Amino acid sequence: MISFVGAGPGDVDLITIKGRRLLEEGDIIIYAGSLVSKDHLNFCKKEAKFYNSASMTLEEVISVMEEGFKNSLKVIRLHTGDPTIYGAIREQMDLLDEKNIPFEVIPGVSSFTAACSSIKREFTLPNVSQTVILTRIEGRTSVPEKEDLEKLASYKASMALFLSINNIGKVVEKLKKGYEREDVPVAVVYKATWEDEKIIMGTLKDIEEKVKEAGINKMAQILIGDFIEGDYERSKLYDPSFTHEYRRSSK
């Protein structure tokens, strides 16, 4: 069995209990070395074999998995955050399917929720936004035109941008057009939950300058929207005058 495991955003204690158990039992660990904290490997068996996928091709990764499966070994494929978001796991799963090798996927804490927790905010405020858009700006990987950042920003929903910090100039330009304002709050969270985490707060007007000044050009979440600053309505769920299935009026 191959287990795709979400390692979480950085802090090793943010992996799931299931993920940690699998790491402890794994015979072969293939980890995404560029983003996954090496500290996770301290939980593995001493005799486990480790592969850093950063220097491997898809075919090489699959052949390590296949070899492990043939020898009845437990193979753990450790991905950063949650494997189902920008994890490039689909192509791995499809090749495993072709070879009739069974696999499972264990979710993880994604960096977008970790970043929002770091700034102590909530993406979904009742009258501000009830929608979170997860996206990226195009880089070497293209983004379908119908999902152009400017178009998505025109919904004025809460947004979390992955893989985009090295292009902050273009990001800001498109967001300004989409949101049609410059004073939209923005938070850049570099290495959320790591020891060297950095938070930069600003608006579309000044965030580019602040990010460049701080020298941040990788491994950051860009969170955008009025959920970061400003007024909001209290939720109905905890409103004393609002009763529901689990809480009847005390009167």
216 and 198 Cβ atoms separated by less than 8 Å: yes
- Of 54, 98, 96, the closest CA to residue 75 belongs to 96
Interface with ligand SAH: number of residues (CB under 6 A): 23
Residues 80-99 that bind ligand SAH (CB under 6 A): 80-82, 85-87
Locate tokens 């490039």: which residue? 88
Which residues have a Cβ under 8 Å from the Cβ of 243 and sit 6 or more positions away? 249
Contact residue for ligand SAH among 31, 162, 179, 227 (CB under 6 A): 162
- Phi first, then psi, for residue 177 (nearest 5°) are -65, -45
Tokens of 55: 């220097």
Instruction: Give the integer Cα–Cα distance in Å for 12 and 164.
Output: 24
Residue 7 beta carbon to ligand SAH: minimum distance, rounded to whole angstroms: 9
Residues 32-71 that bind ligand SAH (CB under 6 A): 35
Stretch that binds ligand SAH, among 22-30, 37-45, 64-72, 76-84 (CB under 6 A): 76-84
219 touches ligand SAH by CB under 6 A: yes
Stretch that binds ligand SAH, among 125-133, 145-153, 171-179, 188-196 (CB under 6 A): 188-196
200 touches ligand SAH by CB under 6 A: no
**HEC states along 183-235?**
CCEEEEEECCCCCCCEEEEEECCCHHHHHHHCCCCCCEEEEECCCCCCCCCCC
Tokens of 64: 């390590």
Residue 159 beta carbon to ligand SAH: minimum distance, rounded to whole angstroms: 13
Residue 194 beta carbon to ligand SAH: minimum distance, rounded to whole angstroms: 6
When CB distances to ligand SAH are compared, the closest residue is 81
Contact residue for ligand SAH among 61, 96, 137, 163 (CB under 6 A): 163
Contact residue for ligand SAH among 4, 5, 10, 106 (CB under 6 A): 10
195 and 11 Cβ atoms separated by less than 8 Å: no
Contact residue for ligand SAH among 12, 15, 187, 192 (CB under 6 A): 192
Residues 102-121 that bind ligand SAH (CB under 6 A): 110-111, 115
Instruction: Give the integer Cα–Cα distance in Å for 198 and 219.
Output: 11
Contact residue for ligand SAH among 3, 53, 191, 223 (CB under 6 A): 191
Residues that bind ligand SAH (CB under 6 A): 9-10, 35, 79-82, 85-87, 110-111, 115, 162-163, 189, 191-194, 219-221
